[in-house]
Structure 1
Amino acid sequence: MTDQIHCPQCGALAKHDQKFCESCGSEIPQGISIEKKQDYTSNVGLFDPSHLNYVLQEKYWDFGSGPIYDEGGNQIGKMKRKLLSLRAKIELLEMNGHIGASIHRKIVAIKPSYDLKDENEVLIARFQKTLLSVFRPKFELKDPNGNIIFTAFGKFMGFDFEIYKGSDNLKQNLIAEIHKTDRWKDVFFGGIIDFKDTYAIRVHDKSVDRRLLLGFVITIDNVLHDQ
């Protein structure tokens, strides 16, 4: 079996001895194999600030469940969609099964809206799409008082995003970048063979709350690619 790792920049698979990613051209770290470590689970928690790269693999025909990896291919958590939930509830779980956060779709809303709650089901943020443009989507994450925490500015077709603090896309406010690594299945096959979505997240601001960041990425995917 060929040893493979995830590219820390875009999340694409690469051979362990490959120096540069064929997808984005980034340098590939040497000596870490996702195939050798596929059964290994990290002791570092899902929301630990030491994580600067995440790979989210939503499986089962975009149902909302799947593993979450670090850049070395170690599973550090998972997404779990609750069956028969009218609010399309998705839980963010640590490897020990502890629920760190959950996402709930608002049933009565003009625009797609979601609530992000902590482990005790207390509201910590609200998500909303602000522009209807398919080509340049924009999303906001607000605190319970309506203040903007993050804004995600999408690139072509919403396959890539940059997330900033507040409402302005100023360079010094860049928090993270998101890349949908399997985008061409959506473009060329119209989702017919799209049985999973894979996202790579690169964190620029080490102090960012990982619950807010991961919850934001999952809700963006739900609105754009899981309809």
Structure 2
Amino acid sequence: MYVIKERFFSIGDDFDVEDENGNRVFHVDGKVFSVRNRVVIEDVNGDEVASVHRHLVALRPTYEIRIGGEKAAEVRKKLFTPFRDKFTIDVPGPDDLEMKGNLLDHEYVIEQDGREVAAVSKRWLTIRDTYAVQVAEGADPLLIIGSVLALDLALDRDKRGESDD
């Protein structure tokens, strides 16, 4: 399980992603996003291991996740999904993932071929403004954390009324 702050980029602060024991496993540079539409995920040594950036020209919110310099996925919000938020996590090949959940409850699941590979929740913790991210065995934690960052960025843009036009 990983623990991350809720409002990632509302102020543009850097923050750490911790494991269930409170040990820092990743550092996220949130200041980069406001300047270059890009978020950098670093390991404990300060080396970039992944990034998330927003496509500036897209019909719907679209974010690219790069891991180790290689494109790992594109996260796209589905255009019409009443009562729920749905995102496609398009990975190279046939094994796409889907992230769906409820914006008001801050509860999301990430599924691949109908199997849950991650759960994102505020309910698992009593600390306000934090998410718990439970990653299933065999799932790539960087891909999952990058997808959650893309989700938060897209929802924050929606809340502020920004469009991708």
Q: Tell me the TM-score normalized by structure 1.
A: 0.60
| Matched letter for residue 96 of structure 1 | N
CA contact (8 A) 1:137 1:158 kept: no
Alpha-carbon offset, residue 149 of structure 1: 1.9
- The 1:161/1:60 distance shift into structure 2, 3 A limit, reads closer
Q: Which has a greater percent of strand?
A: 2
User: Percent of pairs identical after alignment?
Assistant: 26
For 1:153, give the aligned amino acid: K
**SS of residue in 1 equivalent to 2:110:** strand
The whole-number CA distance in structure 2 between the counterparts of 1:211 and 1:109 is 24
Equivalent in the alignment of 1:93: 42
Unpaired segments ≥5 residues, structure 1? 1-52, 182-195
Alignment counterpart, residue 138 of structure 1, candidates 64, 67, 86: 86
- Work out the CA distance in 2 between the residues paired with 1:137 and 1:156: 7
> Quick one: which amino acid aligns to residue 135 of structure 1?
F
AA paired with 2:104?
Answer: M
Alignment of 1:2-151 (within 5 A): 53-57=1-5, 61-63=10-12, 65-81=14-30, 82=32, 85-86=35-36, 88-120=37-69, 122-133=70-81, 135-144=83-92, 147=94, 149-151=96-98
Question: What is the one-letter code of the residue matched to 2:29?
Answer: K
Q: Give the one of 118, 129, 134 matched to 1:176.
A: 118
Q: From 82, 91, 110, give the equivalent of 1:163.
A: 110
Offset, 1:63: 2.3
Q: Is there any run of 5+ residues in structure 2 with no aligned partner, and where? A: 161-165
- Given the alignment of the two structures, is residue 217 of structure 1 paired with residue 148 of structure 2, yes or no? yes
Provide the rounded CA distance (Å) in 1 between the counterparts of 2:109 and 2:146.
15
Residue 26 of structure 2 aligns to which amino acid in structure 1? G
Q: Indicate if the aligned counterparts of 1:131 and 1:137 stay in contact, CA closer than 8 A.
A: no
Matched, 1:152 2:99: yes
In structure 1, C-alpha distance between the alignment counterparts of 2:23 and 2:35, rounded to whole Å: 30
Please, what TM-score do these two structures have when normalized by structure 2?
A: 0.80
| CA distance in structure 1 between the aligned counterparts of 2:84 and 2:132, rounded to whole angstroms | 19
Q: Residue 5 of structure 1 corresponds to which residue in structure 2?
A: none
Which residue matches 2:163?
none
Runs of 4+ in 1 over 6 A off after TM superposition: none
* Alpha-carbon distance in 1 for matches of 2:130, 2:138: 24
1:131–1:139 Cα contact (<8 Å) kept: no
State whether residues 69 and 77 of structure 1, in contact with CA within 8 Å, keep that contact through their aligned partners in structure 2. Answer: yes
Would the aligned equivalents of 2:60 and 2:79 in 1 still touch at CA under 8 Å?
Answer: no
Preserved CA contact (<8 Å) 2:118 2:133: yes
The size of the alignment, in residue pairs, is: 152
Give the SS at the match of 1:157.
coil
CA offset at residue 64 of structure 1?
6.0
The CA deviation at 1:210 is 1.3
User: Measured at CA, do residues 158 and 115 of structure 1 come closer, stay the same or move farther in structure 2, by a change above 3 Å?
Assistant: farther
Partner of 2:131: 199
1:220 and 1:59 mapped to 2: Cα distance? 11
